[in-house]
Structures are given as C-alpha cells and as structure tokens.
Structure 1
C-alpha cells in the first residue's frame, strides 16, 4: 500500500528543504514585517519569521535549532548568534536588575536536540542563589559544583537513562549521536563534553536511586542511609512486618512463608584493570545491590589462603577450576549474585565482584550478606553446584563476622540444583537436590538468575572499561530498573498452574486406581517410604534405583559362574578345554568391535598417509586376522555347519582374501532361523548383546557430557589459535567415541531384535529402543522447531536401567515404585504451586499497601528545619504521587486476578464438597 504513495512522501520531504508555501510571501508570519529569514526545526510548522519575532518566541525554548534562508537554501544558525541571552535567577524573560551580573558566553548545554553553545547570565543580586541552584531550578544539571561551564538538561538525562535500560546503548554512542544531531558534516567545531556527560549521568543515576527510595524524605538526610536501603524489594516474597499475616510464625503451613534464593555467577560482566577504588570510589556505600566494597575486599584478603575443595560430583568447572581461572589484564573476572528464585529479582547487598573464578569464599559472603536482611526461618537455596557448596557451609561460616552468622540449627534450609543444570550431575544428586521431589517448593525451577543475565549481558562491553566505582553504580542502577520492571508486571502472573494441577492430580489418582490390584499391599509401604524421606533426607531415597546396572562385565561374571557350576556338576558342554560357549560368544563380540574400530581407523587414514601410519595399520590388520582365524577354528567346533556356509559364501563373492574387518563372523544372530544353531549359544549372545547395548548407551551419555563440557570450557576460557586447535583435536576424539558407541548400540539392537523371539525374551524394548541419529544429542541440544519451553530430552537420558530379565518381579516393582513416587511428586508440586501463587498474590497487594502507607508517612515527616516552603511542598507532592502509584498498581493487579481466583476458589469448594459426600457414603 505504501509503495503507491512513496513518491508523495519523498516530494513532501524535499519540499520542506525550501520555504514551502512562504515562497511568495514577503512578510513575517507574526508581525508582517518584510523579508522574514528564520525558521525553527523543533517548533511545530514551517513558518518563517523575522529576527526579533523568532527571538521572542524562543525565550522559553532557548535550545531549539534555527535555520536562516540565505537566498538559496536554509543554513544552520544559533539563537546565541542572533543575540539570545538566558537569564537565570529571575522569571523567564526578565533581566537581572543588578548590573553586576555574571556573563558566561562559553556555556555548553547538552540536550535531546543536540549540543548547544549558549549565552548565559547568572543572577548576582544580593539574594541570589548559587550558580548550581540557579541551573538546577531551570532543570539543567551542572557538570561540576565549581564554576560550571557545562550542563545537561533533565530531559536529555532522563532520555538517556531510559534508553540505556531498554537498548543498553553506551554513553559514548549516545553522546556521539547528539553530536551528529548538532553537526553531521564535521565542518562545524563542537566542543567535546563527553567526560562531563558521563559524570552527569552517573550522578543522575545516583540521585534518582536516592529519590525513589525515599532518602530525600529521611530526617537524617542522605548520610543516614543504611546498607541495602536503596533497593527495589520483591513484593511477592515474604517480608515480616510488611506483607505477612498476623501469627504467620505459628501457621501450620510454614512452607508458604519460605524464602527462595538462587545463587549464580556471570563471567561476562568483567572489568579491566583500570583505575582504582581510591581514584574512582562508588557514590553509595553498599546502599544498593552490591555489597559494601571495603568490608568485602578486606574479608577476601584475610581469607586469601583458603583452599577450594574439589568436586565429588561431576567435574564442575565452577568448583574445580575456581582457583585457576585466568584473570590476566582483569581486575574483576565476573559477578556473583543472590536472587529471588521465584520472581528473578536481585536482593539487597547480594551482588559482588569475583576476582578469580566462582570461589566458595566469594559466594559465601554474598549468601550471608543477603540473609542479613531477613529473619525468615524457612530457606530454599538453589545453586548449580549446591551439592558441593553446601557440605562445609556452616564450618566456613565460622570465619565470617558475627553479624553475618546464621542460627542454622533453628532454621529449615533446603538446598537444590536448578532444574536445567540438574541432568549434568551424578544420579544421586539428581534425586537428592531436585526441586521436583521435595515438599513446599511448588514448581520453582531455580533458573531465575540465568534469565536475568540475558537482560544485563549487553552492557558488559561498556562496563568492562569503567573504573570500579562507576561500574558498581551503573550495574546497581540496571538491577534496580530490572526489579522495578518486574514489580509493575506482576499483574501478569502465569495461571497455567491451575489446569496443570487438575491434570496431574487426575493422572495420579488414575495411577493409584490402576495399581491397587497388583500392588495394593505395596502402595502403603511406598507412601511411608517417601514420606519418611521427605521428613528426614537421611532416610533411604525412594526415587533412587537400588537394582544393579547391567554391564558387560557383570554378564561375563554371571556366565563364568554358570560355567563353574557346570564343571562342578559335570554337565559342562565345552568342546575345547580353553574355550567354553560363553567365552566363544564373548570373544566373538570383542572381535566384532575390533573390526569396527579397524574400519574407522582405515577410513580416517587419509589419501596421503605416511609410511609409518600405513605400517602400523598393516600390523594391526595382521594381528586381527590371526585372532579371527584362531577364533573361527574354535567356532566350528560348536557350530560345524559354518564351514560349508563360509565355503559357499566365498564362492559367491569370488574372493578369499577379504580384509580382516570385512570378514563375516557368523555369530548366532547372523545365522538365519533355518540354519541349525545351538539354543544355548543364542541365549548367551542375547545376554551379552543386552549388556552391550546398555554399555554402549552409558558410553554414549558419558561422551556427550564430555563434549558439552569441552565446548563450554572452550567458549569461556580458551583464547588463541594454539589452545583452540588443541581443543578441536580433543573434540574430534570425543566425537569419534560418540560415533563408535552409537554404532555399537545399533549392532547390539539389531542382534537383540533377531534373537529375542528365538530365546523367548520380551519387555526389553522399553529400555533399549531403536536409536535414530536425532536421538544422539546432549541434554541441552534442541531439535529443529523446538524451544526451551517445548524441548524434550532424547530417550537415551530417560532410559531406565533394568536387570537382565526385565519381567523380574522385584525389578518391575522397583520401576513402578519410582514412577508412582514421581507421579505423586508431580501432583503435589502443582498443588503447592497453586497455593504459593495465591499466597504471593495476597502478599503483593499487602506489600503495595504497606509501601503506599510508608510514602504517606514520609509526606507527613516534613520536619527538616532548613527546608523552605517550596521544598516542603515538593516533598509532599512526590510522596503523595508515589503512594497513589502503588495503590493504582494494587488495584490493577486485583482486577487482573479476580476471575482466576474466583474460578480456583469455586473448584476447590466443589472438590471439598464432593470429598465430604464420598466420605459420608463410605
């Protein structure tokens, strides 16, 4: 549609370059005087005025941009050139009656319209205020308190402040854009005030933080600000004295009043080793989200000799490499934080710099620092290495100042690993530290900090060049804005918890009904086990599998023991003194694996192989051929029909000198059903193939984990061609092992498909499924079209390790117990999630009302003796506006939630009545 009008737009834009409809007019648009020459780019319309009229019109708009018609085109001209002087200290447009006025013709003003040079008069009357106050009273922010020659309008500071939050634009880029608005040719000299602008925006951020946190209303003044007082608190979290009901400490459901904490580190937010704390101190002293820096660094210095214990779980880089992370050229390698785990808000005094890596000593300090601001006794702590970090936490606490100690004996503290990070841990951690299996946590996932990093990471490129104080002040401001945006969006809480609760509750009831027949006696026992574990985590974990995992080694041991029994009873059917049937088949599988390796090695040899490489390949080939020849002679003792089969095969192929990796071994699974084969040999191969499949899957998972770890380490830590080349070579080796494990599994699965009907084995398909190439992926990989919200793990990560005979009653019972426990846990977590959401809604409304009342009180606390009438009125107006804003937010949230809460209450009431009727019938 627009393309049809494209030329119209273009012609109108070009027309504005001339005098438009004033072409034939010879008089000023205001006074009708002849020969008007001036127009304003920032005023509405394109009227042309004479010099006196345009000056009069811009007494209140001294920063607009003018143009003068020179007879051929419009050229830039400033109001200063036309003689406009800006008078401070008096009503706009009036001159100072004191002849001793001060002139400053070199004054620079930074505004949204560009960078302007203006003529400025400060008032010098006997009652005149300071130059700083005169500038501030017209909403101009002076760059210095000592004879200011530069200022920025409040408008441009506010504009950049919000733009930096939304687009993460740097001050350098923004200032250059303003400079180009003033002159985009480079022909006009514009005085550089970039350093002044960065200083003003930093001071502006700081003042805004103090103003919004009520410090301008505090009778003790700004210096009375205490640590963490300038933060935006999470209204949905529990705050005693602010949003908890009376008697909450004695309430039976204490889990509803628990605090959810999430700990994490970010290594994108580095800082180069520039400047110092003495040259560039922070404007606040731990008033926001960062810890007070001097006490933090003094403690770290005193604990510099502490040794980080190694991980006993998976090889977590955060644990094992915390002391070795490269910090060359860096004063700070990253940032550690403690967040609200359910609502993704930074907590007061819960952010600090990391000097090396994610060391316990840093994260401990942030954890204990954040908890100084709460007295809650129920804590749910999430950390991606919680399984290691929590072990000696209370022992390490003894080294901290008394003010940071916790009475952990009287608190209920649970430690978790975030859900997305959990699969990378060992199996025991996956059940002991899972949000899915513990009571009182709802559907919390613990991944809140990871979502927050996506918002803050774009500022890393600009903050890494800052001094220490400027960086902390800037990040404090970003964290405050992030918290505030989340507060105003709390009305859009996700309500999918209600239908999910009903779905999982019905699914668990259906499972219970279906199991009562076969497992009726076991259900109560399972319930007792899981409740005992929920009450005391030292009890046996019902979510863990007790059955031994199937391996090739365990099956070989089982077969060897069977051979031993046959020898003792005299029923041994061995046809060779050194080779029993089990040894024959086991050796055949080993030879098959060596053939696959030989084939892969030959394919990777390349066209231009060296003599040394070819020599090694020939030696390996000869060794394999001799082993196969020896094994085939043994094989013909147990399978005599194979001699004729091999002769007929060689006559068809016409070759008797096939490469050793191409020789067909003719294991029982490779012989057709019509050919004779001993049933015991088939049973032995089935057992070994079954174990081989499980072994291959374990190898596949292990190497996929290794691949993910190497890629992550390479991305975060390695720089330079040499280091990356070595990493790529390591990755190639891992990828080769992944491919080998996948091929081994495919061979094992094909053999099992052939053998299972011959040996009457069923039920094995649930754990050993067909392996597609799309299934060979890590836990974090997404398929095409998948998103994080719809992603599904490959079945290889969900496979249940079963015993040799999966129809064994004990193992089937264990599988069913675990599935029953998980179904119960899912139903309970969704039920808890609904209750938590209802409680959080109530807390949000109560917190906003408490906050509104607090602002009402601040408005009435106008008792500063040195405050004038204007300042008192300003304080009262700001306090009333803030109180009104919070009440409007509360009313908006309440309206958004009304229908959903009514639906939940109605359904809960109907469910309760139905249950009471059922109980009466019973």
Structure 2
C-alpha cells in the first residue's frame, strides 16, 4: 500500500501504515488489489482515533468504541473515521476534546461531525481571495473524496455552514482581544470587532495630548473624515428571519445593532422621503417607489465603519442613522435629533460637507462649486470615495450572500469588511509613501504655476482676490469666487426684474406671452441656429444621401417657422423692422431668402440714427456680454481638451485604426472650438455696435477682438518665444468690467476664477503633504493591554498571543519607517516652492519632519 499525502511513494504493509499514521489519521491510502491501486480509508484498515490519551496508551488499554460513524471535513476531502472519546472521570467534555485536537465540532452536545482547523482556515482565506462560496467549496471537497457518485457521501453542508459561521465570529473576537476578557464576551462594545485604520485620528490612542487645544492652523490635521455611500448590489432575499437566523456579531463589528436600527426605522416609516432639490437622484427621489418583491433588503449603506441594510433605496432615515451612529462612536459631538443612544452635546459641533469627487459630476453647477473637495480648505487631496473602493471588492460575493439569512449575511459581510481593512493596513506603508511622493511633486508644480500666473496679474488685484478667496473659505455664504456669469443666469436675472416690475404695476410687454427679454433671448437663439444650419449646409458632402437631405430640409423648415413666428412679434416691439426689410430688398427677393440668411434686425443691427427702444438695447447688451464670456470659457475649455487629447494620442495610441479614430475626435473638438470662436466674434461685434448708443465703459478690457494668433493653449507661446520670454494669450489673463444695470459695479478680472482654481490646487497639495505627515506619525501608536485571568495556563496563553500580536505590529512599524526614511528630505526639498499666500500663518508646520521614533515598547 502507498499514501498520496506522504513524502515519497514507498510501498508499506498494513501494520506499518497504521503505525505510521497514528498522528495522521486523515490521510488517504491506495492499496494494490492485484490489478490496480484502489483507494481505501484508514478506518477500513482498522485505525481508531483516541482522544484524551496517548496513542500508545490506547493500544495497551483498549476501550469500547464510541464514534464509529464520525465525519471529519478536511482539506483533502470528507472522511468517515472511527473515533473514541476519553471517558475517564477527569476527562474534558467531548467538544473540548475535539478542540484540543484542533477539530472544530458542529455542536457542543454529542457532536458527530467536525471540521479541522486547517480546512476552516483554508476556506476562510480562500473566500477572501477568490470569493468562493461555502457551497462551492464544500462540494469540491466532496468531489475530492469521490467524484464517481458510486460511493455515497454524507451531506454535511449545513453543519459546515454553521461551523464556518462560528469560526469567523470567534476569530474576530480573538483578534480584538475579547476571547479572555474578564467581563466576558457579552461586554463587547459597539464596533469593537472592527479593524480600525491606525492612520485615522483616535483620541487616547494616537493623538498627542492637548490636541483639542491646538490652533486652527494645525488642529485641522486631527479632523475625522467620514464618507457615506450605498451599494445596491448587496441585496438579500426575503428568506428566514432575525428570530430564526440571528447574527452573532450583534453590532460589535460593522453592521449596526439590528434591534435599535429597525426600531428607529419603524418609528420613522410614516415619513415620506424628501426629494433631492439638486439632482435627479433615483436612489433618493424614487426610494419610496422601489420594488421590494422577494427582497428583504435592496442593498446596504455605509458611513465609515457603520453599515446597515437598506429597504427602499437610499433613504435619508437610513443614512442619517448610520452617519450619527458613526459620530456617536467617534467621540464627535452630534445634534440631539436621533434616538437616545445617539445623543451627544453639540456645543462645539464643527462639520463641513462635501460631495465625493466621483459623484459630484451628477450634481448641479452650484453644488459642484460649493461642495467640491478641490476648493475646500484644510482637506488636502481627499476625494471622499473610500467606500467605492471597498464595494469593488465586496460585490464579488453579492450572489452568494443574497441567498443567506439576515444574521448570516451580516456576519459574513462583517468578515469581508474586516479582511479588506486589514489588507489596507498591511500596505499602508507603501500607500502613504506613494501618496507622499505624488503630493510633493504636484505641490511643487502647482505652487510654481501659481507664481507664474501671479506674475502676469497686477499685485493689487492679487491682494483683492486673496481677500475674497479667504473670506469665502471662512464663510461659504459669502460671494463664491469660483462662480461665473453665464447667459442663462443673465436671462434669469432679467426675467426676475420683469416679474418685480409686474408686481408693482409696471408692464412694458406688448405681447401677452412674450416679454422684451424673451424677444431678445429668442433672437439670440435664432442667430445660433442660423449659424448651425450654415455649418451643416457647408459640411454637406458632394453626393449626399436621401437621409441627409431629409434631415437638412427638416431643420430648414423648422427654423423658417420659428423665424416667421418671431418676426411677427418683433414688429410689435420694433415697428421700423418691416420698413427696413421692404427698403433693403424687393418682396420677391425677400421671400427667396433662405432661413439661415434671413436678417433678424436685432437692435445691434440697426443704425445709430434709427430709433430703437432703449430697454431692448440694454437687454441685448446684457445677453451679448454674458454670451461673449460663455463663448470665451468654451474656447478655453476646448483648447484644454484638444491639448489633452493630443498628449494622450502620442503617449498611448499606436496603429492606424486607433490614430484615425483619435484624429476624428480631435477634429470634432476643433469644430466645436471654431463654433465658439464664431459665437464670441458675433457677440463682440454686437457689443461694439450697441456701445455707440449705450456708451458703456470698461468692457473693452474684457471683450477684446479675438485674432487667430490669440487662440492658443496656456503653455503655447507664439512668435518663437519660450516660456521664459513669451507671454500668455490675453484670453487667459484678460479682465472684465461688470457694466450691468445691477448695483454691483466693482471691476473683476477674467482670470480671477483661473487664479482661484490655481490657488486652491496649490493649497490642497500643500495641505496634503502636511496631512500625510500627520497620518504617518499616527500610524502604529496604539498600545496592547493584557487582561489578568485567574488560571495560569490561560494567562500564559493570552500573554503569548498578546506579545505575538505586539511583535507583528512592531515589525510592521519598523518596515514602514524604513520605507519612510527619505520622506523628511523629500518634503524639505519643496519648502522653497511654497507660495507665500499659502504658507503664511502655517510656518510652524513647514519644517522638515522627523518620522523616526525610538525603539518600539509594548505596554502589556
């Protein structure tokens, strides 16, 4: 006979094999049956396993069998063994005898199935890495035992599920130091089994004494960043219940305590979901209409380390509970508007709100400016998207956890969340080092770019803008320096002005549905549509298809009808227009004009000598002024995009097909840029014409004639000049005067917003360097505590495990510090690149740091 698991392939007799495998009772034998090697178990050969006694003593003092049909689940398969428990008066209870042999029993009363510690550990790690389900893993073990179906294998899948569930829970308790606490496992506090990030601020563990009394320029480094998000992949079917399948963690890990959570939801169930006023967010606005057919949970929501089931989309009552539960457990003061166990004093409440960078694109422009991480103060380069990174890992188990009961699903997900957090901790040294290298590099680049941009601006304007910027940073209710004037905003202002006049009885409208401002704004829209139709006609191929002809004809007819309708209303406000039309061309020629060539005769197109209502001229001025600024912003955006696409093409694309597609995209961007240039030039010409009558001043510093040589990217210097000798195109540094009819008459710079963005970038990267230094300092400052137990053997075991964990963390800390050896020199090399407008007031943190700590000592 031979053994597949043993080293070598020597042949042995039956007695020798039994003698060799007293300590290896789960090996699989192969016996020669005169024709081939046939698989046979050690139980069949007569091996009996004795617990609680020395094996030699078992043969000298044979005892009656007590477990002939005992099933053991091992990494090599599912085995039936002959097992004898110790029945001596001083013997341990049976399940403890199994645990001492490193076999985990299915139950504590008369167990007949067990799994080896090895197979439980193997599946535990395998589930984290490959996301294999317990069902697939168990049945793969069954096929390892026999894949022919000729030998029946007892189904032990249900016991295996119970064992792996308990195993995961016990491992969490052990690693959190709860296994031998004198107060017992039931004294475990909320979130105590969660794996916390050592770089995050934890009062009493890794923050310096007196941190709460630090000045505002350094206290921000101790702020807690929390992010909230929902995942609708992690659904759970309506199977089982909390009474039948209760969770073991009971709010000790990541999922909040279920009874308190559900009690709060039931109390607030009658409240109707408030719709979002910012964006059409289906997860919020349609929360009350979500279908729950067959589902007990439509997903999960999270905030930092607190997770909870969602019943109807991303409802506010669910997410609010998770947020305040996180704040309550983080020693952060919160408002007393939630259940009693979440109440804390809020006299010193200081919370700033942001929208994560990946999500902010779906929000309206006002939110993108007011709640952007890119423009915030004392946030560094935080993106707020930490939960999204975890979802990518956990979504792979969504299909298997969907079928679980409520308690099993929560405990299983708790285990996966803990594994994800631990993996992040193990690579924290490399992660922080990589972030620091990037932060130092971009800090230098953005600070120098800000200095170069500042050199092109008058010093007085810089001082003024800096004051406005800092005022908005301290109080975001003040005027936002990133806000731009747009044509849509001007139209809204004029509509509001007309509405206010109507309320006091002043009505200048000559048409029941179309006011003077609507007439002018519609005329500008028609001008834009005429230009688009001209481009479509010019770009029509030499031999167009019938479909192309149909589309062009349809657009032509639609525009003609719009112009006819608008012209009839125009006659009410501008009676001179019919005279101009009849004197300019004969009626026959007028009817033959194509709609893209039809003269609209806006006030800017009339001669200075001809009479036109002053109010119409003012309205057109306001709209053309905003239109010119919009067009100039579009030109800058298209130039940025074109430059980026050229760089991407040169760096990443190879081959004719990819290059052709890239050229087509670049040509499309170029066409859009040309359209914006044309729009700007039309608006500029209209403003020049209107200025003869309105006599505006100061606007020409902003709305300047746009020449072809002016249309170039920010880093492109014309005339053979280099970066050291050339000047930026005026489109990047031009300033504008606000000559509207409002009370605001201060002069602003067109590059004001670009300067604010550049300063915000430089500030964020400078703060990121300081924040990373503080996170490196906080890492691995936690202390281990050894509980005093009554039994010496338990005390020795606990001390050994404590010192083992302390040694592991000490080794990791030394490893990280080795990676960070050159960080002080790296940071010191950028101190000369810091712009004085950024570093002023923070000089105490602009020193080269020291990350080397004295040798680690463990307070056990």
* TM class, shorter-length: 0.7 to 0.9
Q: 1:638 to 1:273 in 2, by over 3 A?
A: farther
Identify the residue that residue 648 of structure 2 maps to in structure 1: none
Mapped to 2, the partners of 1:819 and 1:79 lie a distance apart of 79
Identify the residue that residue 901 of structure 1 maps to in structure 2: 824
Render the CA deviation track for 1:823-854: whole Å, top value 9, x for unaligned. 1111111111111111111100323xx2xxx2
Q: 1:248 to 1:506 in 2, by over 3 A?
A: same
Q: Does 2:485 match 1:543?
A: no
Segments of structure 1 that go 5 or more residues without pairing to the other structure are: 1-37, 340-346, 378-392, 559-579, 610-615, 648-659, 670-676, 702-740, 771-797
Render the CA deviation track for 1:267-308: whole Å, top value 9, x for unaligned. 111110000011011112211111111111111111211222
Mapped to 1, the partners of 2:524 and 2:750 lie a distance apart of 31
Q: Matches of residues 328-477 of structure 1 in structure 2 within 5 Å?
A: 328-339=293-304, 347=305, 350-376=306-332, 394=335, 397-398=336-337, 400-477=338-415
Q: Does 2:152 match 1:194?
A: no
8 Å CA contact 1:100, 1:124 repeated in 2: no
Secondary structure in 1 matching 2:779: helix
Identify the residue that residue 755 of structure 2 maps to in structure 1: 820
8 Å CA contact 2:627, 2:680 repeated in 1: no
- Please report how far the alpha carbon of residue 685 of structure 1 lies from its aligned counterpart in structure 2 after TM superposition: 14
Identify the residue that residue 306 of structure 1 maps to in structure 2: 271
- Please report how far the alpha carbon of residue 458 of structure 1 lies from its aligned counterpart in structure 2 after TM superposition: 0.8
Q: Does 2:456 match 1:514?
A: yes
- Please report how far the alpha carbon of residue 375 of structure 1 lies from its aligned counterpart in structure 2 after TM superposition: 2.4
Q: 1:587 to 1:641 in 2, by over 3 A?
A: farther
8 Å CA contact 2:447, 2:835 repeated in 1: no
- Please report how far the alpha carbon of residue 591 of structure 1 lies from its aligned counterpart in structure 2 after TM superposition: 7.4
Identify the residue that residue 74 of structure 2 maps to in structure 1: 111
Please point out which of 768, 783, 792 is paired with 1:833.
768
Secondary structure in 2 matching 1:846: coil
Q: 1:231 to 1:887 in 2, by over 3 A?
A: same
Q: 1:143 to 1:554 in 2, by over 3 A?
A: closer
Mapped to 2, the partners of 1:746 and 1:505 lie a distance apart of 30
Q: 1:697 to 1:71 in 2, by over 3 A?
A: farther
Render the CA deviation track for 1:683-717: whole Å, top value 9, x for unaligned. 9999989959969999xx9xxxxxxxxxxxxxxxx
Mapped to 2, the partners of 1:907 and 1:260 lie a distance apart of 26
- Please report how far the alpha carbon of residue 462 of structure 1 lies from its aligned counterpart in structure 2 after TM superposition: 0.8
- Please report how far the alpha carbon of residue 621 of structure 1 lies from its aligned counterpart in structure 2 after TM superposition: 11
8 Å CA contact 1:270, 1:464 repeated in 2: yes
**64-73 or 467-476, larger mean C-alpha shift:** 64-73
Mapped to 1, the partners of 2:673 and 2:317 lie a distance apart of 48
- Please report how far the alpha carbon of residue 604 of structure 1 lies from its aligned counterpart in structure 2 after TM superposition: 13
Identify the residue that residue 277 of structure 1 maps to in structure 2: 242
Q: Does 2:591 match 1:640?
A: no
Q: 1:336 to 1:144 in 2, by over 3 A?
A: same
**809-818 or 586-595, larger mean C-alpha shift:** 586-595
8 Å CA contact 1:693, 1:749 repeated in 2: no
Identify the residue that residue 873 of structure 1 maps to in structure 2: 796
Mapped to 2, the partners of 1:137 and 1:111 lie a distance apart of 16
Q: Matches of residues 7-406 of structure 1 in structure 2 within 5 Å?
A: 38-95=1-58, 101-252=64-215, 253-339=218-304, 347=305, 350-376=306-332, 394=335, 397-398=336-337, 400-406=338-344
- Please report how far the alpha carbon of residue 544 of structure 1 lies from its aligned counterpart in structure 2 after TM superposition: 1.8
**583-592 or 409-418, larger mean C-alpha shift:** 583-592
Mapped to 1, the partners of 2:566 and 2:533 lie a distance apart of 10
8 Å CA contact 2:106, 2:114 repeated in 1: yes
Render the CA deviation track for 1:594-629: whole Å, top value 9, x for unaligned. 9999999xx99999x9xxxxxx99998997999899
Mapped to 2, the partners of 1:557 and 1:258 lie a distance apart of 42
Q: 1:326 to 1:440 in 2, by over 3 A?
A: same
Q: 1:554 to 1:597 in 2, by over 3 A?
A: farther
- Please report how far the alpha carbon of residue 489 of structure 1 lies from its aligned counterpart in structure 2 after TM superposition: 1.2
- Please report how far the alpha carbon of residue 815 of structure 1 lies from its aligned counterpart in structure 2 after TM superposition: 2.9
What is the aligned residue count? 714
Mapped to 1, the partners of 2:560 and 2:472 lie a distance apart of 59
- Please report how far the alpha carbon of residue 813 of structure 1 lies from its aligned counterpart in structure 2 after TM superposition: 3.0
Q: 1:54 to 1:336 in 2, by over 3 A?
A: same
**811-820 or 421-430, larger mean C-alpha shift:** 811-820
Render the CA deviation track for 1:178-233: whole Å, top value 9, x for unaligned. 11111122222111111111110000001000110001231112122222211211
Q: 1:805 to 1:452 in 2, by over 3 A?
A: farther
Secondary structure in 1 matching 2:821: helix
Identify the residue that residue 597 of structure 2 maps to in structure 1: 666
**832-841 or 616-625, larger mean C-alpha shift:** 616-625
Mapped to 2, the partners of 1:285 and 1:583 lie a distance apart of 63
Mapped to 2, the partners of 1:190 and 1:473 lie a distance apart of 29
**417-426 or 236-245, larger mean C-alpha shift:** 417-426
Render the CA deviation track for 1:443-470: whole Å, top value 9, x for unaligned. 1010111111001111111111111111
Identify the residue that residue 19 of structure 1 maps to in structure 2: none
**623-632 or 482-491, larger mean C-alpha shift:** 623-632
8 Å CA contact 2:279, 2:363 repeated in 1: yes
Supply the RMSD in Å over aligned alpha carbons.
Answer: 4.8
TM-score, structure 2 normalization: 0.73
Identify the residue that residue 806 of structure 2 maps to in structure 1: 883
8 Å CA contact 2:236, 2:403 repeated in 1: yes
Mapped to 2, the partners of 1:622 and 1:513 lie a distance apart of 51
Secondary structure in 2 matching 1:898: coil
Identify the residue that residue 789 of structure 2 maps to in structure 1: 863
Secondary structure in 2 matching 1:430: helix
- Please report how far the alpha carbon of residue 912 of structure 1 lies from its aligned counterpart in structure 2 after TM superposition: 12
Identify the residue that residue 573 of structure 1 maps to in structure 2: none
Q: 1:426 to 1:90 in 2, by over 3 A?
A: same
